[in-house]
Amino acid sequence: MYNVKEVVANKPSRFTSGHRMCAGCGAPVVARMVLRAVHPEDHVVVSNATGCMEVSTCIYPYSAWTDSYIHTAFECASATESGVEAAYKSLKKQGKLPEGENTKFIVFGGDGGTYDIGIQSLSGAMERGHDLTYVCYDNGAYMNTGIQRSSATPRFADTTTSPAGKVIPGKMQSRKDLTEIMVAHHIPYVAQTAAYLTLQDLYEKSEKAIYTKGAKFLNVLAPCPRGWGYPTEDLMEINKLAVETCYWPLYEVENGIYHINYKPANKKPVTEFLKTQKRFRHIFKPGNEWMLDEFQKEVDKRWNELLAKEEMTNK
C-alpha cells in the first residue's frame, strides 16, 4: 500500500485554505482530496449546488476555488454542468479550443441538493451519459439552512424538523440509498467512500472517476459537527467508526461489477458510531433499546445485501 501523502505532496491544492467552513467539517476535506486527484496539467470546471460548501467558499470577492467555478441553484447543478460539458465538446469539434487542452467537469452538492432537490437533474445527467463526475458530500441533513431532515438522514436522528421527543423518536423513515439508485442508471462508475484509510480510498476513487469516460458518481461521507453533535477534533474518528461498523461501507461498482474495498476483520456494533453523536443520544435512554436493535438490523441487512451483490456480480 502506497502513502497518498507522498503521491499528492507536490500537487498544488485546487481548493485553497482560508475558506469559511466550520472546524471539524468533512466537506472541505472531501473537496480538497477530490480535486487533488486531478492531474496538474488538466483544467477543471466546477459546478457547485447551493449549500454549506457554496456559501462558505465563494463569498464575493473571495473564492477558495482555483479552477473555473459556477455557483448554481440547489436543483440544477447537474444540468448546469451538463450544458458546460456539451458546450466544451462542441467547441472542440469546431476547433475553437487549443490543441491538447483537457478539461474535467466536476459537480459538488450536499445531500439536500443531491438526494432531494437536485435528484431530477442528477438523474438526467447520468442517464444522458455526460462526461462528468458528480460528488455528493453527504452530511445527512440540510445543515446550511438549520439542520432539517433530508432523505439522507438516518432513522431516529434528531433534527429540527424531526425532533426527538414524546411525539416522535427522531426521524421515522430509513435513509435513502442513493448510491444504489445511481448504480441502477447503469453508468460506468459509481463509488461510496469516506475520508478514511489515510485518505487513499477517497483519492483513488476520485482519480478513477474523473478519468473514466462518461457519467460517474461519488457518494462521500462528510460528517457535520453542528448537525451531528461531536467535538471538532473527532472528525476522522467519526469517519472511521462509520466504516468499521459498516454504517458506511467503502465499495465501488465498475461497469456493473461490485467490489467492496474494505471489509472489517471485526465488524463493530453500530452503537460505537451512534454514541459519539448528540443527534442519537435519546436512543440510549432506558426504554429505547428497540431503536438500537432496529438500527443495527438495518445496517446488517444492507451490509449483507452488499456482500451478496459482490458475490453475484463477480461469478
Domains of the chain (ranges; CATH) run: 4-313 (3.40.50.970)
Q: What is the pLDDT along the chain (315 residues), one digit of tens a residue?
A: 456 666 676 788 899 988 999 999 999 999 999 999 999 999 999 999 999 999 999 988 999 999 999 999 999 999 999 999 999 999 999 999 987 789 999 999 999 999 999 999 999 999 999 999 999 999 999 999 999 999 999 999 999 999 999 999 999 999 999 999 999 999 999 999 999 877 899 999 999 999 999 999 999 999 999 999 999 999 999 999 999 999 999 999 999 999 999 999 999 999 999 999 999 999 999 999 999 999 999 999 999 999 999 999 998
Q: How high is the pLDDT of residue 17?
A: 86
pLDDT at 99: 78
Quote the pTM value: 0.96
Q: Which of 200, 276, 192 is nearest to 238 (CA)?
A: 276
pLDDT at 302: 98
Task: Find the largest Cα–Cα distance for the chain.
Answer: 69
